[in-house]
Structure 1
Amino acid sequence: MQITFQLLNRKEASIILPYLDIMNHQNVPMEILKERFEEMLSQNYEAFGIYDDNQLIGCFGLWSMTRHYCGKSLEPDHVYIEENYQSKGIGAQLFKWIEAYGKKKGVTAVELNTYVENFPSHKFYYNQGFIARGYHFLKKI
């Protein structure tokens, strides 16, 4: 197993849409998901594929921003690894890679959101050195 993380250019980024659809807990129609994803690609967002050799096995995105409380930061988004590749250390490898990638870009923090009911992810992120600093609230208008 040779795991790599590859930045996807705008033309190839749509290959991760099926993974985004799997994680689509809000049941957003695919056409709207595509439109939103295209808009994300025009913002401070990068899409990545997770590969085993040349086979796509997952995805993640990274938002870049500067925040008043932590400086320049990266926010991993929609991290997904195919089920048969889970619990094999790929997630830990990914977050080490994200930290190294961030350091090259002058980032001073990595922060993320995870669903309240996703307890396995909470344990994983604690094990990666993250601390829970608050709640993420959402109100659709």
Structure 2
Amino acid sequence: MELRFGIIPASEILVIIPLLQKLEENSVPEPVLKERVLSMATENYECLGIYYSETLIGICGLWYQTRHYAGKNVELDHVYIDENFQSKGIGKKLIDFIANHVTKKGCNWMELNTYVHNFPSHKFYYNQGFVAKGYHFVKEL
């Protein structure tokens, strides 16, 4: 399988919209989604693309920050791999690539959120060495 991982340039960030729209919990109207993604691209954010040949088949957002309990870290966001490419070892390669990429940037810690009902993702992340440290609470304003 001819796979390539690479950071999507901010100038091309809107290529992730079709994959973001496939995320189960995403019900954001497309114009709002585009506006938000363009804004994200100007912040402490990178988006990693997974390419099969030249086709974008997966994405993972990377948010960089410094936390008092972890130092410099990265939060993985909107991890998505096209369903036709799931269960082929790509997720493990993705996590390994990210760990190497962010270590070079000085990160000490990777974290992420996953939906409570997404049990297959929980098993996957445990198998990749992640541990559950708490709950993620939200309050819409």
The TM-score by the shorter chain falls in which range?
Answer: over 0.9
Task: Judge conservation of contact 1:65–1:72 (CA < 8 Å) in 2.
Answer: yes
User: How big is the alpha-carbon RMSD for the aligned residues of Structure 1 and Structure 2?
Assistant: 1.0
Matched pairs, number: 141
Unpaired segments ≥5 residues, structure 1: none
Task: Judge conservation of contact 1:3–1:50 (CA < 8 Å) in 2.
Answer: yes
> Any idea what SS the aligned residue of 2:47 has?
strand
Task: Judge conservation of contact 1:13–1:48 (CA < 8 Å) in 2.
Answer: no
- 1:24 Cα deviation from its structure 2 partner: 5.5
Alignment map for 1:49-64 (pairs within 5 Å): 49-64=49-64
2:70 maps to 1:73: no
Matching residue of 2:140: 140
Q: Which runs of 4+ in 1 moved over 2 A?
A: none
Matching residue of 2:15: 15
For 1:109 and 1:48, locate their aligned partners in 2 and report how far apart those are by CA, in whole Å: 17
Matching residue of 1:90: 90
2:121 maps to 1:116: no
Unpaired segments ≥5 residues, structure 2: none
Percent of aligned pairs sharing the same letter:
53
For 2:13 and 2:42, locate their aligned partners in 1 and report how far apart those are by CA, in whole Å: 12
Normalising by structure 1, we get a TM-score of 0.96
> Any idea what SS the aligned residue of 1:59 has?
strand
